[in-house]
A and B are shown apart, each in its own frame.
Chain A
Amino acid sequence: MSEEIIKDVIVGENEDYIINMGPQHPSTHGVLRLEVCLKGETVKYLIPHIGYIHRGIEKMCEADTYQQLIHLTDRMDYLSAHMNNEAVCLCVEDALQVEIPERVKYIRTILDELNRIASHQLWWCAFGMDLGALTSFFYGLRDREHILDIFEESFGSRLLHSFVMPGGLMHDVHPNFQKRTKEFIKYFRKKLPEYDQLLTGNIIFQNRAKGIGYMSRETAIGYGVTGPSGRGSNFACDVRKIAPYGAYDKVQFNEILGTGGDTFARYQVRMAEMWESMNIIEQLIDNIPEGDYTAKMKPIIKLPAGEYFRRVETARGELAVYVVSDGNKSPYRMKFRTPNFSNLFVLNTLASGHKIADLIAISGSLDLVIPDIDR
């Protein structure tokens, strides 16, 4: 397609022109290049160019043991590191038919939801900033710091924790974990309405988000757009409901579905998910059973020959792990179906016909994390 574009421009047959957005554009939150074809200020179509931080994680996994490759999965979607770890661990536990302790299931689910809140907070502040609202950045990061402090106390790291291990957890959580999590929920229940006051009701924000980047339910299913972005188009794709893992079958929660399908609907789904995540944590935090933090595992894990497939819900959508094992200590082939990979390529459909300023709002509402696309 790009050869035709170059011909058009050189020959001057039409008034379209191409601009490159990225690879180092602040709104792409990573190294993503969008080749945008414009007519005036209107986007005709865009072509995403990816691979700037392709590290070959799938290839590296083939040389690592299962305990080692957990640490690579953190580096895919670094904002839902915990869920990425869990996806691989569920696969291994499935294959070995290990029964993990109840305590582990509860703690994993609480951490999943804390991680989801932290990720949505960062999305909220960055989304506000994409649209020119700088204050939201300070509000979001201020509250996210509380979660990262809880993580740091228990795991020793703030972003890439690699805390979940096949069979359980790396070690037990800090004794303060329950107390501090409850404090955080109490604190954030007061602070989250501020987000709505600051941005949701703002008329400038609403004008920039409502009716922009409409995605129909069919488009979402066809492109495989999952997570809050897909649910904003009424596509019920929550893996926590479809195939519950961890302690999700023990809690009551609603799958948030939006019907608008536009940028504002995706925004509202994420805001409502933060409330829902707090509900889930509150149901679990007082009932964490006593017990071991890990099941008994052999030091060298060898999966029986065969194929294993597990899915989890990360903060951005459905992460599926597909492992082919030949009975050795490393996987024969490891495939990560990452949510952002599918979410990115719907951008052309959503942005076509809108102004270039709206492209920023649309890509912000998809909440892309580029290392997750490149892997």
Chain B
Amino acid sequence: MLNKQELTDIITGLIPETEFPEGTQLLEVIVPAEKYFSLVEKLKSDQKLSFNYLISQTAVDFLSHMTVVCHLESVEFRHLIVVKVLLTDRENPTIDSLTALYPAAEYFEREIFDLFGIRFNNHPNLKRLFLEDDYGYPLRKDFRDEINIIER
């Protein structure tokens, strides 16, 4: 199991454009959207890192931007990392899909698409998972449903 500093050094060597925010509970890495897929690919295939288990993948809406958050773990070494991508375009947010690396990502990404409206490039079957096609994206902070949600 590598500690936070060792992981930081290895990842900076792999992709220099990464940022590491201070004072977080787990090790976090922020990566530009165009480097996202290649970073995760390297995190998975690197012998020392081998992040082969995608625990969860989700998104957060901050109104100014949206963040896609992936929690990855290595089954062999048991270290954890949080990969984050900031998407500033809220009208048409797009990001690469991780389905080619982790089969679990297929349905995590469909859920994100359903609830946040983030599109995934190269996704085999990007359709809504829970809701109807014209429902809107309920987990966005500017979502309004006057019939079913009472504002307090």
Chain A residues near B (Cβ < 8 Å)? 1, 50-51, 54, 56, 58-59, 63, 94, 219, 221-224, 235-237, 242, 306-309, 311, 318, 320, 322, 324, 332-333, 335, 337, 341-342, 345, 374
**Is B24 interfacial (CB 8 A cutoff)?**
yes
Judge whether A59 and B138 touch: CB under 8 Å: yes
Complex: chain A residue closest to B69, CB-CB: A322
Judge whether B71 and A94 touch: CB under 8 Å: no
Q: Which residues of B contact A306 (CB under 8 A)?
A: 24-25
Q: How many B residues face the partner with a CB closer than 8 A?
A: 29
**Is B2 interfacial (CB 8 A cutoff)?**
no
Judge whether B75 and A324 touch: CB under 8 Å: no
Q: Which residues of B contact A56 (CB under 8 A)?
A: 138
Given A335-B56, A335-B58: A58 touches B139 (CB 8 Å cut-off) = yes
Cβ-defined partner of A318 (8 Å) among B55, B78, B103, B106: B55
Stretch at the interface among B9-17, B29-37, B124-132: B124-132
**Interface pairs (27), CB distance under 8 Å:** A50-B130, A54-B130, A54-B131, A63-B152, A94-B25, A224-B53, A224-B54, A224-B55, A224-B102, A224-B104, A235-B75, A306-B25, A307-B24, A307-B25, A308-B25, A309-B25, A309-B26, A320-B55, A322-B56, A322-B58, A322-B69, A332-B60, A333-B60, A333-B61, A342-B104, A342-B107, A345-B103
How many angstroms between the C-alpha atoms of A342 and B54 in the bound complex? Answer: 10
- Determine chain B's interface SS by DSSP, over half rule: loop
Min C-beta distance of A90 to chain B, whole Å: 12
Min C-beta distance of B5 to chain A, whole Å: 20
**Is B82 interfacial (CB 8 A cutoff)?**
yes
Q: Knowing that A56-B138, A306-B25 touch, tell me 9 more A-B residue pairs with CB under 8 angstroms.
A: A51-B131, A59-B139, A63-B152, A221-B52, A221-B53, A309-B26, A322-B71, A324-B60, A337-B71
Min C-beta distance of A218 to chain B, whole Å: 9
Which residues 101-143 of B have a CB within 8 angstroms of A? 102-104, 106-107, 115, 125, 129-131, 138-139
How many angstroms between the C-alpha atoms of A311 and B55 in the bound complex? Answer: 10
Given A308-B25, A309-B25, A309-B82: A223 touches B71 (CB 8 Å cut-off) = no
Judge whether A51 and B130 touch: CB under 8 Å: yes
Complex: chain A residue closest to B102, CB-CB: A222
Q: Which residues of B contact A308 (CB under 8 A)?
A: 25
Judge whether A337 and B56 touch: CB under 8 Å: yes
Q: Which residues of A contact B52 (CB under 8 A)?
A: 221-222
Min C-beta distance of A328 to chain B, whole Å: 13
Q: Which residues of B contact A58 (CB under 8 A)?
A: 115, 139
Judge whether A345 and B138 touch: CB under 8 Å: no
Q: Across chains A and B, which 6 residue pairs bring their CB atoms closest together, nearest first?
A: A51-B130, A337-B56, A224-B104, A54-B130, A335-B58, A222-B103
Min C-beta distance of B89 to chain A, whole Å: 19
Complex: chain B residue closest to A375, CB-CB: B130
Q: Which residues of A contact B106 (CB under 8 A)?
A: 345
Q: Which residues of B contact A219 (CB under 8 A)?
A: 103
Q: Which residues of B contact A307 (CB under 8 A)?
A: 24-25
Complex: chain B residue closest to A337, CB-CB: B56
Min C-beta distance of B64 to chain A, whole Å: 13
Complex: chain A residue closest to B61, CB-CB: A333
Judge whether B125 and A1 touch: CB under 8 Å: yes
How many angstroms between the C-alpha atoms of A324 and B84 in the bound complex? Answer: 13
Q: Which residues of A contact B58 (CB under 8 A)?
A: 322, 335, 337
Complex: chain A residue closest to B56, CB-CB: A337
Cβ-defined partner of A309 (8 Å) among B71, B115, B138: B71
Which residues 66-120 of B have a CB within 8 angstroms of A? 69, 71, 75, 78, 82, 102-104, 106-107, 115
Q: Which residues of B contact A374 (CB under 8 A)?
A: 130
Q: Which residues of A contact B152 (CB under 8 A)?
A: 63
Complex: chain B residue closest to A310, CB-CB: B25
How many angstroms between the C-alpha atoms of A59 and B61 in the bound complex? Answer: 12
Min C-beta distance of A340 to chain B, whole Å: 12
